Amino acid sequence: MKDLMGRAIWDFYHNEDPKDLQTETSISELDELPVDYLFRDFEEMNKIEQKALKLSKGKTLDIGAGAGSHSLYLQNERNLDVTALDISPKSIEVCQSRGIQKAVAENMLHFEGETFDTILLLMNGTGIFQSLNVIDIYLKKLYSLLNEKGQILIDSTDILYMFDRDEDGGVYIPAEGYYGELDYTVHYKGESEDPIKWLYLDFTTLKNAVENNGFKIDKVIQDEDSYLAKLVKK
């Protein structure tokens, strides 16, 4: 793994000629992702992120922590025992440099030994599930990491709006597979990662998946096509 996201975060934090990231998906063109966006404070975050951080409680695991902005807020402003977890080693280095006391570079499927009162998956947290074919593997892992009375706070976006519509309002979507399963590619300073699978889920599809894996689910907040959901054990 080239860890281009981590390199961009590291370059920005250390002021080593940082450039904006570029991202693209199998249904969208190249788009700029300013790296400073990953370092925003609470007031700059969207409604869904703010709501999730306000609802967080107890011992917390922040999966896909990136530059650590969510973890930093929970640790410093909410005084929570929080662990920042990310697959990117350079991102975790920056989390540690920013003062996050517990930061681990690990794939969530291999992370073990602790359980949590709150598990956060934000900024399209369902993306990490990759596809509907393997979502059960990730949900079973999350179940094992969650305390009996704990909560998972996860967000996603129904991307149906990105597909063409006809005059009658019908939507043209791919005939094969689920329309929220995309290939996602990151570019940085002329280099490209290999495409990864990334999953956007409408609420009903997420609901069906989590209920098949021992969870109850509620929609906490809806913001246009995006939403925040809360999962608890049945």
Q: Which domains does the chain have, with CATH numbers?
A: 42-176+199-233 (3.40.50.150)
Are 229 and 211 in contact by the 8 Å Cβ rule? The answer is no
Torsion-angle region of 77 (φ positive above 0: left; ψ -120 to 50: alpha; else: beta): alpha
Confidence bin at 132 (pLDDT 50/70/90): very high
Sheet containing 226-233: which strands, arranged edge to edge?
A: 103-105, 82-86, 60-63, 116-121, 146-157, 226-233, 215-223
Residue in the structure block whose two tokens are 């300073």:
189
| Residue 114 dihedral angles phi and psi, to the nearest 5° | -140, 160
The predicted pLDDT at position 58 comes to 98
User: The pTM is what?
Assistant: 0.94
Confidence bin at 177 (pLDDT 50/70/90): confident
Half-sphere exposure of 42 (CA within 13 A, CB side): 13
pLDDT at 165 over 80: no
**DSSP letter at 64?**
T
Are 4 and 185 in contact by the 8 Å Cβ rule? The answer is no
The predicted pLDDT at position 164 comes to 63
Q: How many CB atoms lie within 10 A of CB 35?
A: 20
pLDDT at 203 over 80: yes
Q: pLDDT, tens digit, for every residue of 109-119? A: 999 999 999 99
Provide mean pLDDT across the span 172-193: 87
Which ranges in the chain belong to alpha helices (H)? 4-14, 47-55, 69-76, 89-97, 135-145, 203-211
Q: pLDDT, tens digit, for every residue of 24-58? A: 998 888 999 999 999 999 999 999 999 999 999 99
CA distance 171 to 155: 24
CA distance 84 to 230: 19
Provide mean pLDDT across the span 196-215: 97
* Cβ partners under 8 Å of residue 124, min gap 6: 155, 156, 157, 198, 200
Between the CA of residue 86 and those of 22, 107, 182, what are the distances in Å? 20, 7, 21
Q: How many CB atoms lie within 10 A of CB 194?
A: 9
